[in-house]
Structure 1
Amino acid sequence: MRFGVTILPEYRWSEAAPRWRAVEDLGFDHAWTFDHITWGGLPDSPWVAAMPTLTAAAMVTNRLGLGTFVSTPNNHEPVQFMREILALDDISAGRFLLGLGSGAGLDAGILGQDLTLRQRIDRFHEFTGLLDRLLREDHVTADGDFYGAREVRTLPGPVRGGDAEPRVPLIVAANGPRTIRLAVDVADGWMTYGAPVETADEWWAVLAQVCGRLEDTLDEKGRGRHTITRYLNTDAMPTYALESVGAFEDVVGRAAELGFTDIVVPWPRTTEPFRGDVATLEAVAATVLPRWRS
């Protein structure tokens, strides 16, 4: 099992930088930030952009994976976004993890986008497919319903390169059948937050359903069940995963039973959401992480 922390992009960099350094110093494997125009959980909070934040985080860390939770077609266009991705991957020496999702209605509305849910899913499939090509190929041309490209040069290409890691890892957030199929077709990793439900039992029941859907799709596509990393984002849990060390250990055990390879928890805040104590995060790092290392 690997472990990560989400740091919301609500802080001035002078406040944020020590948190990113602390995540690495505590021994976590990766750290993430939200890539939204705004977030419904904190609609009146200050909010800064994800890609510059991760670039700054790359400069104050050395080994930590750095990811977006999640980048979407709401506020990114594939050709332009490819350039940002390549720059960040280079600056971080290949540590960037590209989380992708279809995008929430809140951001779409703020940007004046009037798309149905089906249209947003269609756009996401096209967005992800083109981005995958742009991160693998050079001289890319494409004609789609939402995006186009004309002989796009993609030099210098990703830092990692080679057959084993041909591009920046794509981690697709998916619950529904269509998007899970997309994850199985093109992604290196799959991510879910379950669903915003009332009780923990309901949340775990949703997770069991979507995990079963993923495994059925892997079998259908002839892809081995261990060929995709599985990220559990705990920010939609009805209770905070870092309420106590014991509560977090319970989350880890139940997630492991469902086949998750990675768990991500929000950095504790002094107010809701994610109200908690940094001392609990530190205790988890000292006691729980070593016991569950893969």
Structure 2
Amino acid sequence: MPTIDKCVDGVVSEYQYYEFLAIDQPLDDFDQAEVRKLSTRATITATSLVNEYHWGDFKGDPSSLMARYYDAHLYVANWGTHRVMFRLPCDLLDPGVVETYCVGDQVSARGTAEFVVLDFTSEDHTEEEEFDYDAETLLSAIVGVRAELAAGDLRPLYLAWLAAYGAWEHDEDVFDRDADDNLEPPVPPGLGTLTAAQRALAGFLRLDDDLLAIAAQTSPSFVTIADDPRELAAWVGGLPVAEKDRLLTRVVRGEATRLRMELLHRFRGDTAAPAIPVPARRTVADLLDATARRRAGR
């Protein structure tokens, strides 16, 4: 558990925690050397970078590091900033779909030729945070949402959108009053039965339980995807031999993790269940007012 130093006058000193993960493709020696130039104190391996600061700042730009090297990033600071980022291939997560869930600086996305990088931020500056938890466990609990997004589960995007507007209940300066009329993005199924990773993301982004409960009222039940081994085998058997050779070559080159996501995405797209009716979209004011009534009734 990270230790927060105390100043002479008893005030909690600065604390920042950075963590990056390379999931699909480990960094080679050259890339690790390039990243090392940004910090002599960080713990750097082929698959991760971890650093803590009690004074000073990290010299690197997380957005640039995500674009070049890493697939997930988490940052926390004891002045109330929580930030988590995920990088996914554009052919697994459509940037156009992502755009419908973006909210200012709280939920944003950056595109490259190959990837879309999601950036979720939660701020709470009402008081300095007491770090009574282990920051090193946070990203491992949340990172599973990346694979869920790649498989077509959009609940993490909606949770980030909802958490962004939920902050308006505590900080009236976050949005202009015109934001009352903004419509929610498409409501994904399964908001009432989140996965463990999605619950961890919601907690990290400080999503209010009452607001989530209100949002889940129009969310259809989530049908868990169970890949039938026989159907999967038949689908793989139908792939052209030349394509199988190309896929196997990518596995040998170290792309097994990403390739698995790509193939499952294709398989599930080819064997998708019938579309679920889309619920009517509510305004931000509808959601926040209903949440206030729920609390008052309790």
TM-score under structure 1 length normalisation:
0.27
Instruction: Find the structure with the greater CA-based Rg.
Output: 2
